[in-house]
Amino acid sequence: MSLTTEVLIAGAGPVGLALANLLGQYGRKVVLIESRSELIDYPRGVGMDDESFRSLQTMGLIDEVTPYTVPHHIMRLVNGHGEVILTNDPKGEPFGWPRKHGFIQPLVDKVMHDGLARYDNVTVLFEHELAGIEDDGDKVVATVRTGPNEGDTTRIEAAYLVGCEGGRSFTRGWMGVDFEGKSPSTRWVVIDVRNDPLGVPNVYLGADPARPYVSIGLPHGVRRWEFMLFDHEPSEKVEDDGFVADLLRDHVPDSSRLDVIRRRVFTHHGRIATGFRKGRVLIAGDAAHLMPVWMGQGWNSGMRDATNLGWKLASVLAGKASDHLLDTYDVERRDHAKAMIDLSMTFGSIIKPTDKRVAFLRDTASRVLNLSPQVKEYFTDMRFKPMPRYGRGVVVEPDSLQPGEAAARRTSRFVAVRNAVDKRSPVGLQFIQPRVATAEATGVRLDDVIGPWWTVAAWGNDPARLLSPSDRAKLERLGARLVAFTSESQRGWAEKEYAGSGSLVVGDLDGSLKGWFDTRGMGVVFLRPDRFVAAACLAQDAPRALDSLLRAASATVESVR
């Protein structure tokens, strides 16, 4: 038996499921294979960022996912005396959702799996394990094992293959790339229970030199503990009920009454592949990078991979961009994944010390730092976490309007830009998502209004009037939507004034959009399907910015089908 598809995804973990949903929504033909007989049903990831929530919104699965999440998941780092060293409780909802959520991964993964039933163009095959890859330059042919015998195989032919099989990825091994980084020898035992005996919400990271620990309150009455094992304690001790009871003695009144989901030993890893692409074969998620759990970024980094790669694969397969567009996936995602690994490793080094002298110095330093409101706010608002910023790839330099690179800070000869409050470039950063109004609805989130593909938006202008008929024809072939942002008080006027231009008029309800364009000194923004700013410019420069953006995106709009 053999199958033919556009994209073969190996691994039905969260990254493979997310990528399949996005490609399914974009109308591409997908086969998703998984070596197991069913999805993993025990908890793993427990923290979800607003960026990932926004990706689930793009997939159209928010209503189904929300019951398995709890918003505003506060994290506190405490020392052995119960003193708070650091609080992580970011405020605001710049991307349309609370910044942090606790969640039940198996149930969210199941939502993504069940969501694939919406698409006739997506096929899911369990008990299918990737066993061989051939890339002949025009297509990929995969050998897939379907049973225990040597002859139990099938062939799947695809335009592209994406390996999402986790840290032991067969695909990464076939690519021959190095998996650089560290795997510290420190072991931790994780204990998940269904009947939370504490009823205390949120997250506590215990930097206790007696034994570092983690205690996490999760939705549906689930609680997680993690305890560091000492070098003299063998991993097998996790099977000893007495040992586990000793671990929990200071945490729960009666550990014998716990309904345990699982308990196991794991080691943290901080590794990243030296390349995410080889020809028609790519890797994503844990196959491309592994990171410690401290910042809850493993699941979220994988979602960022899927969100970045999905629209690019769809563009190439639709003939809207050349194959070179896929090179930007590696360029854009690897630096940020590495930054998150480094941050997670650093955070672990703060939690793990068991030397009381080291812990004393850490605690003393934290008390001094917490005396400064600015320092406290820096950590509380999670400003230490590097937000994804794409300085190279599908971006346009806002000053020179050159394609492919965008500096973090701007210097412009134009007074309007020079006077901007925010001197940082908005290009390569994710765009905000406030609630807005249109002729059809009020108080809806921006992404639900503008749709899941390219957007060209202007403040106080009709973008259709800023572009030539030829430019508008290119954008139409690209599938881009033209949007006119205006104050809500001006929306009625704009709907009449711009009638017939094809632009959607969007009213700014709370001033968020006006503030964004004001502080950045820009009048037009080009938004990628993953909601990142590809280009931003003054209104008069929109045609030049468009030409550069099409080059940066390897667009082939002159010949789009």
Single-letter residue type at 316: V
What are the tokens at 459?
A: 């403040």
Q: Position 558: which residue type?
A: E
- Of 42-51, 146-155, 388-397, the range with the highest mean pLDDT is 388-397
Average pLDDT, the chain: 90
Closest CA to 547 of 535, 539, 529, 533: 535
Task: Say whether pLDDT at 410 is over 80.
Answer: no
266: CB partners within 8 A, 6+ apart:
187, 188, 190
Spatial neighbors of 233 by CB under 8 A, at least 6 apart, are none
Neighbours of 383 (CB within 10 A): 11
Q: Among residues of the chain, what percentage have pLDDT more than 70?
A: 90
* Measured distance CA(98)–CA(91) in Å, rounded: 8
Please say whether the beta carbons of 267 and 226 come within 8 A. Answer: no
Quote the longest CA-to-CA distance of the chain: 76
Q: What is residue 66's DSSP assignment?
A: G
Q: Which pLDDT band holds residue 374 (cuts at 50, 70, 90)?
A: low
| 539 contacts 383 by C-beta, under 8 angstroms | no
Per-residue pLDDT tens over the stretch 227-245: 989 989 999 988 899 999 9
The three-class DSSP label of residue 221 is helix
In this structure, which amino acid lies at residue 381?
D
pLDDT band at 560 (very low <50, low <70, confident <90, very high): very low
113 has pLDDT over 60 = yes
DSSP letter assigned to residue 452: S
Which two three-digit tokens encode residue 405?
Answer: 């690179």
Residues 94, 97: Cα–Cα separation, whole Å: 7
CA distance 286 to 13: 10
pLDDT for 558: 61
β-pair type (100-103, 47-49):
antiparallel
This prediction has a pTM of 0.92
pLDDT of residue 149: 83
Worst-scoring range by mean pLDDT, 186-200, 281-295, 449-463? 281-295
pLDDT band at 546 (very low <50, low <70, confident <90, very high): very high
Q: Residue holding tokens 């030539």? A: 468
Q: Is the pLDDT of residue 341 over 90?
A: no
What is the four-CA torsion angle of 516, 408, 308, 447, rounded to 10 degrees?
0
- Count the helices and strands in the chain (H runs, E runs): 17, 30
pLDDT-derived band at 561, boundaries 50, 70, 90: very low
Q: Are 102 and 70 in contact (CB under 8 A)?
A: yes
Domains defined along the chain, listed by start: 2-60+103-178+270-349 (3.50.50.60), 187-267 (3.30.70), 392-559 (3.40.30.10)
pLDDT digits over 55-94, tens only? 999 999 999 999 999 999 998 888 888 888 888 888 889 9
